[in-house]
Amino acid sequence: MDAKVIRTEEQHLAYLREVQELMARQPAVGSVDSDRLELLTVLIEAYENSKFPIEAPDPVDAILFRMQEKGLKQADLVQYFGTRSRVSEVLGRKRPLTVQMIRALSIGLGISAETLVGLSVPEDHAAPGKADVDWSKFPFKEMARRGWLSDLSVRAKTGVEEVVKGFIEDAGLEFGAAAFRRSIAGEAASPTTRYALYAWLARVIQQARAKKPRLGPFEPEKLNAGFLRELAQLSWSERGPLLAVEFLERHGIAVVIEPHLKGTQLDGAALRDVDSTPIVGLTLRYDRLDNFWFTLVHEVAHVWKHVGNDEAFLDDLDSSSEDRREAEANRLAREAFIPRVKWRRSEAYLSPSRDTIEKLARELRIHPAIVAGRLRKETSNYTVFSDLVGQQQVSSFFPSSSEV
């Protein structure tokens, strides 16, 4: 009997009986019976899927089931989510999964990506027309004062909302189903600063686009530890900050200096534009050489290792982070300036003084501010070596950053 597409329940039952008979024979692979068994199985599966569609499993329930199956606690999921708070938010259905989380869970817990994708958009964002974006919460007065928006548009609330929406969408941060399409990672992100961070991010993207005609080609394969080290050693020059920006833009990475918006604790950002152009944003929040250099190399490490087209890293480097990606960016930045083995054996570490700091800086061809800054950070003593960290020595290289 020729196998045909199943159209009736009688045909379905007949094929099921034949499958049972064939399986009982245990046919050899490649035999006529084996090929027929495979064909009938496909036909039966297609019929059952159309006749009795299975509702897609709930992603959170799938994660909870796998946790119970493997005897896992929420703390065991931090390696997949980045922080304990994100584990709680996802399992509490308050935060969507990012692409990185989906990949990690799929590999680590063996949950299919198809099952997890259902959580990538929160329930409140699933149906079009649900207005979860409160445009009035954007800091439009500060945005207008900085010249980001037309003064004419801020006279009426309706005009404000329209111009802010256009400003955000022009940067490629569309509100698909009333939800931001680009997710934010990094310790600067919080519910209270959400709108200000997206406004700042949109400004950085727009400023980066103005630089694209003069960017060199971006070649990802050139990003490595040696590249970070070469960037770090530019700090040795008196014109180091300018040389660093020129170096990165020659290699296709746009660098934008844009002060943070009021209320945000933001040092820098790493992301890609919609055309995959890598972007590094810096706020010069502290206007110190040690902070500038560490933030810059930290963000370039993100570009090298972590940044995709769907996520932006916005960093408050004063905050401790449980995110493995932040820890890796910190480690790569530290090693680029002062390798760990060298640091622990140096006189600057063992017997810190102005002389030992400057000696190590000369050996490594980096600015003394970086050595002093590392000592201050590791000892949590920010009263020492204040004269070496380059206070107010960065903004002078970027005049527009001090005009805010």
The full set of domain ranges for the chain reads: 9-51, 59-123, 135-199, 213-402
Q: What angle do CA 51, 53, 58 make, to 5 degrees?
A: 170
Binned at pLDDT 50, 70 and 90, residue 175 comes out as very low
What would the mean pLDDT of 27-53 be, rounded to a whole number? Answer: 78
pLDDT digits (tens, 9 = 90+) for 265-307: 899 999 998 888 999 999 999 999 999 999 999 999 999 999 8
What pLDDT, on a 0 to 100 scale, did the predictor assign at position 404?
60
Query: Would you state the pLDDT for residue 122?
Result: 42
State residue 185's pLDDT score: 60
pTM: 0.66
Q: Closest Cα to residue 197, out of 155, 168, 156?
A: 168
pLDDT band with cut points at 50, 70 and 90 for residue 125? very low
- From the centroid of its chain, how far is CA 311? 4
Query: Confidence class of residue 167 from pLDDT cuts 50, 70 and 90?
Result: confident
pLDDT bracket for residue 69 (50, 70, 90): confident
Task: Tell me the C-alpha to C-alpha distance, in Å, between residue 397 and each of 169, 292, 402.
Answer: 31, 12, 10
Cβ atoms 133, 178 nearer than 8 A: yes
Q: Between 1.10.3210.10, 1.10.3720.10, 3.30.360.10, 1.10.260.40, what CATH number should domain 59-123 receive? A: 1.10.260.40
Q: How confident is the model at residue 189, as a pLDDT?
A: 57
- CB of 168 closer than 8 Å to CB of 198: yes
Residue 136 near residue 160, CB atoms below 8 Å: yes
